[in-house]
Amino acid sequence: MAAGTRRKITGSFGGNGSSDAFQSAGGFNLSVSGTYAGTISIERSFDEGVTYFTVSTLTANAEVQKRVDEVEVGVLYRLTMASYSSGTATYRMSS
């Protein structure tokens, strides 16, 4: 399956890095949980993943369960962990 066409992406951060890209017309559900020290950015791309822009950030141990609405077709989202120092953050994006 091509990047950005999955209906669900799950994973975890145990260091700095980015999730796979996720695309969903009409929006998606986002879940982040865990005990971690670092910053997770919710990012989106309007150019098929060439450039990503930060939508919002979560700081250490932040947990989120929310719906992210997107009206434009073809927009890709991903999560990026930066400034990681310890723990594990688990994530799920689904439509």
Q: Over the stretch 27-63, which tens digit does the pLDDT of each residue have?
A: 899 999 999 999 999 999 999 999 999 999 999 999 9
Q: Is 2 a domain residue? A: no
Q: What is the pLDDT of residues 66-77, one digit of tens each?
A: 999 988 888 999
Q: Is 60 a domain residue? A: yes
Residue 25 has a pLDDT of: 73
Per-residue pLDDT for 64 more than 90? yes
Q: Is 27 helix (H, G, I), strand (E, B) or coil?
A: coil
Beta bridge partners of 44: 53, 77
Query: How high does pLDDT run on average in the chain?
Result: 91
Q: What is the value of pTM for the model shown?
A: 0.90
Give the rounded percent of residues in the chain with a pLDDT score beyond 70.
94
Q: Which structural domain, as residue segments, surrounds residue 61?
A: 8-94
Cα–Cα dist 61/53, whole Å: 22
User: What are the φ/ψ torsions at residue 15 (nearest 5 degrees)?
Assistant: 180, 180
Structural domains of the chain, count: 1
Q: Is 3 a domain residue? A: no
Residue 8, number of CB atoms within 10 A of its CB: 12
Q: Is 66 a domain residue? A: yes
Q: Is 14 a domain residue? A: yes
Q: Is 69 a domain residue? A: yes
Question: How many angstroms separate the Cα of 43 from the Cα of each of 28, 77?
Answer: 13, 6
Residue 64, number of CB atoms within 10 A of its CB: 14
Cα–Cα dist 32/44, whole Å: 17
